[in-house]
A and B are shown apart, each in its own frame.
Chain A
């Protein structure tokens, strides 16, 4: 019996240790989640997580046919849908308790920078979250994987000529915890 309890305790300890809390991450380190490694930067109580295999971080976006105001690549309804889809994905990987806590923070959202090809298919992500949160690196990894696999931005037809020649496109959104919570509560 003692042996069984001991094995259980060790198992639980190992399982807990495997989940890396965002709050425990150190600045300028590389941390491994389940499969991917992440470059960690901490600034102003926010943690920036960049998949170490990302190739476009730091690469300048070149869009020869795009004017300075590129905010309308998505039609309004498609923009709402895209944000709703991103919110739903986040909500599926974060507990209601964490959302309740995190929505009271100074910046109550996950900041996502999503780089896509010129057809709107996501290529890479950068995530930026509250430093003192209970969220884990593994949750962020799941969110990243889910978005890369399941999201595609529907570019407005009139942008065909505008995005032509771009090396990639960038979308930057704040995905709010209170909206995640609303989705979660509605689904339950």
Chain B
């Protein structure tokens, strides 16, 4: 909801409904959290529907592509005759006029059952459509606005020009989030090879990471990691490097996050994985570069700790890789379920990992299996005195579960 003050000191209230394109949703990990009421994400594609809070009547529909408004559609409120007209404009003609446009209404049927609840969702299904007469023109070649156009009213200037808020307007709506996504990024960024648009996308990714993309448990633990990094005063570099293997990496020697290409930047899961490595770098005395040099003693520990953290958070059992024998997958999955009490709590002490019949902590058993079977097999050497204290510390101090 947008509440704004007009120049005549009146207050107006409008509802903004964000209708993102599927492709945008996919790129942004099915989150539109990067869009705020006074700022559109640089890569946002889709529509914003303005409607009256009082009457529910739709006022206008703005269409965006890659963060830029490409079309305005005003709702017919004065009973004008339907029909299109071709108007001569600079460099050619443009089609303008009233036309009936319909928006499909979709719902995603989800069922949650059991304890702990498991949510099973199906693909979105069309449940209906909403049609209205709209005026279609091209804002890049503005024609003569129609009488009754809400954008004629100077009080609506901000609403009609979201990219260019009225500089004379003494009042601008505050962002919905307590802290701007870009501010959050600036606090942990020392330098970057990314261009402005990529930085904007990264800020949105960080925002998605911090709000858990709607998952309160994830938001809690991920904010805790971010705060630990902030408290340590650690800052990182961010770059794209097509020469890295895999889709992303963190280099503790340089403190740089690297993506293979820019398509990885909006991926919150990928960012989260590498950001945990950044957190490890701040947590372990002397940083984690020490485990990446020479014989790389402790390198498998660092990687297994991250993979285990990822599995505990996401209710998965992927650390050993998809090529591992089923027997090991089964044993590992059963262990994860056991140490999290079926994903209802986090392990907080090293003893929570359990011990085998020889009283050896099971963490080392699975670390050994990880070292033998995962995609990190035989990289570096296992350090049997290095406990996963970064993981335990964050679970122990965050009070998230």
Contacts and interface: CB of A to CB of B under 8 A. Distances in A.
Interface of A: 43-44, 46, 48, 61, 65-72, 75-77, 79-81, 84, 87-88, 106-107, 109, 111, 113, 126, 128, 156-162, 170-172, 174, 178-179, 182-183, 185-186
B307 A183 contact: no
B139 interface: no
A68 B324 CA distance: 13
Contact of B375 (A69, A80, A172, A186): A69
A157 B330 contact: no
Interface stretch (B60-68, B244-252, B393-401): B244-252
Range for the number of chain B residues in contact with chain A: 35 or more
B118 A158 contact: no
Contacts of B273: 69, 72
A68 B380 CA distance: 13
A75 B114 contact: no
A42 to B, nearest CB: 11
Interface of B: 26-27, 29-30, 111, 113-114, 118-123, 213, 244-249, 260-261, 263-264, 266-267, 269-270, 273, 303, 307, 310, 314, 316-319, 321-324, 326-327, 329-330, 333-334, 374-376, 379
A174 B307 contact: no
A159 B213 CA distance: 20
B260 A113 contact: no
Nearest to B377: A68
Contacts of B333: 107, 109, 174
A111 B326 contact: yes
Contacts, number: 132
Contacts of B321: 70, 172
Contact of A66 (B118, B246, B324): B246
A69 B264 CA distance: 14
3 closest Cβ pairs, A-B complex: A67-B246, A68-B375, A170-B322
16 contacts: A46-B326, A67-B249, A68-B375, A70-B321, A71-B307, A76-B314, A84-B121, A113-B322, A158-B263, A170-B323, A171-B322, A172-B321, A174-B317, A182-B114, A182-B120, A186-B120
A118 to B, nearest CB: 14
Nearest to B119: A80
B109 to A, nearest CB: 11
B307 A69 contact: yes
A66 B111 CA distance: 35
A183 B113 CA distance: 8
Interface centre among B118, B310, B322 (most CB of A within 10 A): B322
Given A46-B326, A69-B273, A107-B334, A161 B245 contact: no
A128 B326 contact: yes
Given A70-B246, A179-B118, A158 B322 contact: no
B111 A186 contact: yes
Given A80-B121, A183-B120, A70 B375 contact: yes
A67 B244 contact: yes
A137 B317 CA distance: 26
